[in-house]
Structure 1
Amino acid sequence: MFGEFKEVMTKEFEMTDIGLVVYYLGIEVNKREDGSFISQVGYAREILKKFRMDNSKSINTPVECGVKLSKHDEEEKVDPTFFKSLVGSLRYLTCTRPDILYAVGLVSRYMEDPTTTHLKIAKRILRYIKGTIDFGLLYSTSNHFKLEGYSDSDWGGDIDDRKSTTGFVFFMGDTAFTWMSKKQPIVTLSTCEAEYVAATSCQSYVNYPQEAHRPPSLEELKEMAGEDILENN
Structure 2
Amino acid sequence: MVAHFRMSDLGALSYYIGIEVKQGKEALTLDATLYRSIVGGLSYLVHMRLDIVFTVGYVSHFMEDPQEDHWAMVKRLLRYIKGMVDQVIVFPKTNGSGLRLTVFSDADMAGDING
2:51 corresponding residue in structure 1: 99
1:113 corresponding residue in structure 2: 65
Structure-2 separation of matches of 1:132 and 1:101? 15
Q: Deviation at 1:93?
A: 1.7
1:90 corresponding residue in structure 2: 42
Residue from 157, 178, 189 that aligns with 2:112: 157
Is the contact between residue 97 and residue 135 of structure 1 (CA under 8 Å) also seen in structure 2? no
Does residue 1:124 correspond to 2:79, yes or no?
Answer: no
Q: In structure 2, do the counterparts of structure 1 residues 154 and 83 end up closer, same or farther at CA, with 3 Å as the change threshold? A: closer
Where in structure 1 are there 5+ consecutive unaligned residues?
1-78, 161-182, 184-233
Is the contact between residue 97 and residue 136 of structure 1 (CA under 8 Å) also seen in structure 2? no
2:14 corresponding residue in structure 1: none
Q: In structure 2, do the counterparts of structure 1 residues 139 and 103 end up closer, same or farther at CA, with 3 Å as the change threshold? A: same
SS at match of 1:151: coil
Q: Which amino acid aligns with 1:107?
A: V
* TM-score of the two chains, using structure 2 as the length reference: 0.56
2:9 corresponding residue in structure 1: none
Structure-1 separation of matches of 2:56 and 2:92? 27
Number of residue pairs aligned between Structure 1 and Structure 2: 82
Q: Which whole-Å deviations, capped at 9, do the CAs of 1:143-171 have from their partners, x for residues lacking one? A: 5233533223554322x5xxxxxxxxxxx
Residue from 145, 149, 158 that aligns with 2:99: 145
Aligned counterparts, 1:66-85, within 5 A: 81-85=33-37
Q: Which whole-Å deviations, capped at 9, do the CAs of 1:35-84 have from their partners, x for residues lacking one? A: xxxxxxxxxxxxxxxxxxxxxxxxxxxxxxxxxxxxxxxxxxxx862111
Greater share of strand = 1
Q: Which whole-Å deviations, capped at 9, do the CAs of 1:92-117 have from their partners, x for residues lacking one? A: 22122111111111101011222333
State, as a whole percentage, how many aligned pairs show the same letter.
Answer: 40
Where in structure 2 are there 5+ consecutive unaligned residues?
1-30
* TM-score of the two chains, using structure 1 as the length reference: 0.30
CA RMSD of superposed structures (Å): 2.6
